[in-house]
Amino acid sequence: MNSVEYSDGSMLFKKKEKASNFYVLKSGEVQLFDPDKNKTLAVLKPGASFGEQAILAGGVRSVSAKAIGNVVCIEISANALKQMLENSPGIIKSVFEALLLQLYMHNDLRGKGYPFNMS
């Protein structure tokens, strides 16, 4: 796990890149967006985690992430996440909540919307 800083407008990752890390936002805001549709999917606040879905599946990024203002994140590798999941069952709940949110964001991209109020 590393603490990583990004300046305003910096890309944390881009859609279709191979995923090898996920992030926990310590300070600042991160915009998750689909560059193909020019659509913002979420603006994340401190405490949010993102990028888990792609590394758990060993896949590629389904969205892009950009720093809004100065951002500090904890960057966690796929291997470190897998070890945490094996050793700390409490983390599993947080990861599944993040995955559920991402699933609903994916459905929104396909025009299906959210089945509940996200606010």
| Residue 52 placed within a domain | yes
The structural domain count of the chain equals: 1
Average pLDDT over residues 28-56: 88
For residue 62, tell me if it sits in a domain.
yes
21 confidence band (pLDDT: 50, 70, 90):
confident
Average pLDDT score over residue span 15-23? 89
Q: What is the pLDDT of residue 55?
A: 67
Task: Kindly state whether residue 119 falls inside one of the protein's structural domains.
Answer: no
Locus of tokens 């996440």:
81
Question: Does residue 118 form part of some domain?
Answer: no
Residue linked to tokens 């069952």: 89
Q: Is the torsion defined by CA of 54, 86, 81, 44 positive or negative?
A: positive
Q: From CA 50, how far away is CA 26, in angstroms rounded? A: 12
Domain assignment of residue 15, given as a range: 2-109
Can you give the CATH number for the domain in which 17 is found? 2.60.120.10
Token code pair at residue 67: 């720093």
The answer to whether the CB of 32 falls within 8 A of the CB of 17 is: no
Q: What confidence tier does 17 reach under pLDDT thresholds 50, 70, 90?
A: very high
Residue 114 lies in a domain: no
Is residue 69 situated within a structural domain?
A: yes
Q: Is residue 49 part of a domain?
A: yes
Range name among 26-35, 67-76, 78-87, 92-101 with the lowest pLDDT average: 92-101
